[in-house]
Amino acid sequence: MLPKETITSKADIADADIPEPIAVVYRHPDFIVIDKPIGISVHKDQQLSGLPDWVAQQTGDAKLWLVHRLDKITSGLLILARNSAAAAEFSRLFQTHKIEKHYIALSSGKPKKKQGMVTGDMAKTRNGSWKLCRSQTNPAVTRFHSVLCEPGLRLFHLMPKSGKTHQLRVAMKSLGSPILGDQRYGDKTALDRTYLHAYALKFEYRGEKIVITQLPHSGKYFLRAEVQQQLLRLTIDCTTD
């Protein structure tokens, strides 16, 4: 079981100057893939340049284009295009669902089902969060499966088939298993982070098949031995499909 904690979540702290270089995990003449840390917005705010500008300074690129997004509380793989033609191509790939995205999450809640699909329209609530509806007009679709790592701690492999705001967080809440540390969507435990990580991307770019994986390196529950064993199995499965 998970102990009660009173650690302030990094995702709740306002963005400060990015303290260290962002890890570049894949380089291509047309794009790079970075490992975005938690607690960093991909957008500009009043004080800071956006993440693409910061990474461009680090890599020496004149400009980098943001072609998809991760929530501030989510760590993991983020593609940045190195030219406008590549940005347009990635926009097409995402719009036509040609990029396979894989996420991992931890939860202390017992899910209504251990694997399957979560589908439904999403509607905004009065407090600015989102909820899953029964209607299927333009549904958010998430495929998932899960495995128990230890009593009170379950690992979820999440594969979104659409790209709605807060889709995975809402899907997990609807299963009765809010993401560990996600206080907005039902987990009231204050932890060192929200346990959602974008860990794999699979796609074909101009005839080249590309598979990129990056396991989380922050968050003490992600680093537990039982969780690491399951993540290793997941990575092997993902790269051998």
> Active-site residues: which are they?
71
| Residues 223, 68: Cα–Cα separation, whole Å | 27
- As separate numbers, helices (DSSP H) first and strands (DSSP E) second, the chain gives 4, 12
Q: Which residues of 123-148 are buried (b: 16+ CB within 10 A; e: fewer)?
A: eeeeeeebebeeeeeebbbbebebee
CA distances from 224 to 6, 22, 153, 178 (A): 19, 24, 10, 19
* Residue 146 DSSP class: E
**What does DSSP say about strands 65-66 and 75-81: parallel, antiparallel, or unpaired?**
antiparallel
Q: Is the dihedral of CA 72, 76, 77, 81 positive or negative?
A: positive
| Residues 75, 1: Cα–Cα separation, whole Å | 24
Structure tokens at 12: 């709740």
